Amino acid sequence: MEEKRYYQKEIETMPLEEIRRVQSEKIVKQVRNVYDNVKYYRDLMDEKGVKPEDIKGIEDIHKLPFVSKSDLREAYPFGMLARPLSECVRIHSTSGTTGKRVVAYYTQHDIDLWDECCARAIVAAGGSKDDVCQISYGFGLFTGGAGLNGGSHKVGCLTLPMSSGNTDRQMQFIMDMGATILCCTPSYAAYLGESLAENGYGPEDIPLKAGIFGAEPWTEEMRQSIQNTLGIKAYDIYGLTELSGPGVSYECEEQRGMHINEDHFYAEIINPDTGEPLPEGEIGELVFTSLDKEAFPLLRYRTRDLCRLTREKCSCGRTHVRMSKPLGRSDDMMIIRGVNVFPSQIEAVLLNEGYTPNYQIIVDRVNNTDTFDINVELTPDQFSDRVKDIADMEKKLVGAMRSMLGIGPKVHLLPPKSVVRSEGKAVRVIDKRKLHD
């Protein structure tokens, strides 16, 4: 039973002092590595007046300069590379939705490290060699498919490399192969759950017992709804292509925050405006340092994700620090009529009010004023033959949105399936204002 609970028990349950010792050893080497091999970093460090010998342990990390997505864009394609291409074995890339693509490089060591991180996540979700793990994240440049696929192999699960899409085939494999663990985006998990229900499969008929869902923000309410339709425990997983991919942090059976793989990734929380570190428990921007990646090491990388960290003891026995679900990526945040709005807040209201998580937010600008519309699907039990009933429902939903957000959207209730489903990352927001800029 013991060895089933952890993938690498000694590391995952290491006392804090030991973690710090490992981190200190690794950061000293890593700083030397990037200073010697990456001109872009050398210039940044010289500009700040920091020499590799100033970093004697992990406590000196704040002396290092930050890097951000714009640095990666500037250094594209090879400017951040710390190993010759001949030593690299693979690349992955972001979708480039917020601008130019970020391309990350991996040596075999980097791939192994990443696969191990994903293996820890799968074991934490109850996985073992006896499981059948269906990977319904996209395969290709996107890191989702490759990461969990690698982790699943390490654990020894029977791995189904489905990739995303083709929902009929996904359902067939879940049922016929007896898949016990599903890995995909939470919005696709919700869609698969709906489709299985439509085909007459209730939670007790579906062989799945766990799901590992990430790559997009999702709420606690959405977790409950996925758990109920599929009859599983749904675990969150976090990662960034810039750091390797999914598996930077993951949930254990407590489902209360994601343990960060601190032996590979050092996390800080900073004030996003001043860059000053914040004390434990405060919400701020998450900053990561990859301590032992070879090809594409990042020092103090600003993720734009807002969250908090906690070292409270976890009943699972893991000692690694936990991060809360990101409250939003600062890239996802919309400013509508001067108010900060996160799609996750809208989703929470919808689920609280008994609606499905199928929605789309449309923001536009008409006569210099922001318009804010939300399309929401109505369920059969909510439908009434009286216009007034539906108008009242719209009004109630607008009221709930207003009290959560501070501004009232226009709500449009629509028939089921009228909000376009996605098979990868859901398109929750259509911001037409950008067209006018």
Partner 1 sequence: MSIRQLSVFVQNEAGKLQEITDCLYASNIDIRALSVAETQDFGIFRLIVDDIDKAVSALQEEGHIVKITDVIGCKLEDRPGGLARIVKVISAIGVNMEYMYAFLTKSDSAYLVIRVEDNDAVEAALRARDIPLLEESDVTAL
Taking CB under 8 A as the rule, does residue 354 contact partner 1?
no
Q: How many residues bind partner 1 (CB under 8 A)?
A: 18
Judged by beta carbon, residue 192 or residue 208, the one nearer partner 1 is 192
Judged by beta carbon, residue 282 or residue 389, the one nearer partner 1 is 389
The one among 61, 413, 423, 426 contacting partner 1 by CB under 8 A: 413
CB-based burial of residue 168 (10 Å sphere; 0-12 exposed, 13-18 middle, 19+ buried)? Answer: exposed
For the bound state, the minimum distance from the C-beta of residue 395 to partner 1, rounded and expressed in Å, comes to 12
Which residues are 114's β-sheet partners? none
For the bound state, the minimum distance from the C-beta of residue 400 to partner 1, rounded and expressed in Å, comes to 18
Judged by beta carbon, residue 390 or residue 400, the one nearer partner 1 is 390
Query: Distance between CA atoms of 424 and 166, rounded to whole angstroms?
Result: 11
Give the residue from 411, 331, 400, 336 showing the smallest Cα distance to 366: 336
Query: Distance between CA atoms of 236 and 255, rounded to whole angstroms?
Result: 8
CB atoms within 10 A of CB 363: 21
For the bound state, the minimum distance from the C-beta of residue 379 to partner 1, rounded and expressed in Å, comes to 8
For the bound state, the minimum distance from the C-beta of residue 375 to partner 1, rounded and expressed in Å, comes to 9
Query: For residue 268, how many C-alpha atoms fall within 13 Å in the half-sphere facing its CB?
Result: 23
For the bound state, the minimum distance from the C-beta of residue 144 to partner 1, rounded and expressed in Å, comes to 29
Judged by beta carbon, residue 108 or residue 379, the one nearer partner 1 is 379
Judged by beta carbon, residue 388 or residue 436, the one nearer partner 1 is 388
**251 in helix, strand or coil?**
strand
Query: Distance between CA atoms of 215 and 361, rounded to whole angstroms?
Result: 19
First-last CA distance in the chain: 59
User: Tokens standing for 386?
Assistant: 């009286």
Q: Provide DSSP, 173-225.
A: HHHHHT--EEEE-HHHHHHHHHHHHHTT--TTT----EEEEESS---HHHHHH
Q: Annotate each residue in 268-307 with x if it binds partner 1 (CB under 8 A) or - if it does not, as one string.
A: ----------------------------------------
Piece of 42-50, 94-102, 185-193, 414-422 that binds partner 1 (CB under 8 A) = 414-422
Judged by beta carbon, residue 63 or residue 412, the one nearer partner 1 is 412
Judged by beta carbon, residue 386 or residue 436, the one nearer partner 1 is 386
Query: Distance between CA atoms of 177 and 185, rounded to whole angstroms?
Result: 21
The one among 96, 281, 317, 416 contacting partner 1 by CB under 8 A: 416
Query: Distance between CA atoms of 33 and 64, rounded to whole angstroms?
Result: 14
For the bound state, the minimum distance from the C-beta of residue 386 to partner 1, rounded and expressed in Å, comes to 6
Give the residue from 114, 182, 173, 190 showing the smallest Cα distance to 147: 114
Instruction: Please state, in angstroms and as integers, the Cα–Cα distance from residue 221 to each residue in 351, 361, 413, following that order.
Output: 6, 18, 20
Q: Where would I find the H helices in 203-308? A: 220-230
The one among 337, 396, 417, 432 contacting partner 1 by CB under 8 A: 417
The one among 68, 310, 345, 418 contacting partner 1 by CB under 8 A: 418
Q: Annotate each residue in 40-69 with x if it binds partner 1 (CB under 8 A) or - if it does not, as one string.
A: ------------------------------
Judged by beta carbon, residue 93 or residue 418, the one nearer partner 1 is 418
For the bound state, the minimum distance from the C-beta of residue 336 to partner 1, rounded and expressed in Å, comes to 20
Which helix (H) or strand (E) segment holds residue 343: the answer is helix 343-352
For the bound state, the minimum distance from the C-beta of residue 380 to partner 1, rounded and expressed in Å, comes to 5
Judged by beta carbon, residue 249 or residue 375, the one nearer partner 1 is 375
Piece of 80-88, 224-232, 250-258, 410-418 that binds partner 1 (CB under 8 A) = 410-418
> Tokens 């791939």 — which residue?
111
Residues in the chain: 437
Q: Which amino acid is at 129?
A: K
Which helix (H) or strand (E) segment holds residue 359: the answer is strand 359-366
For the bound state, the minimum distance from the C-beta of residue 326 to partner 1, rounded and expressed in Å, comes to 33
Piece of 279-287, 299-307, 337-345, 407-415 that binds partner 1 (CB under 8 A) = 407-415
> Tokens 């009929």 — which residue?
168
Give the residue from 231, 239, 181 showing the smallest Cα distance to 206: 231
Q: Provide DSSP, 121-139.
A: HHHHTT--TT-EEEE-SPP
Report 363-402 residues binding partner 1 (CB under 8 A): 378-380, 383-388, 390-391
Judged by beta carbon, residue 18 or residue 353, the one nearer partner 1 is 353
For the bound state, the minimum distance from the C-beta of residue 314 to partner 1, rounded and expressed in Å, comes to 44
Q: Which residues bind partner 1 (CB under 8 A)?
A: 378-380, 383-388, 390-391, 412-418
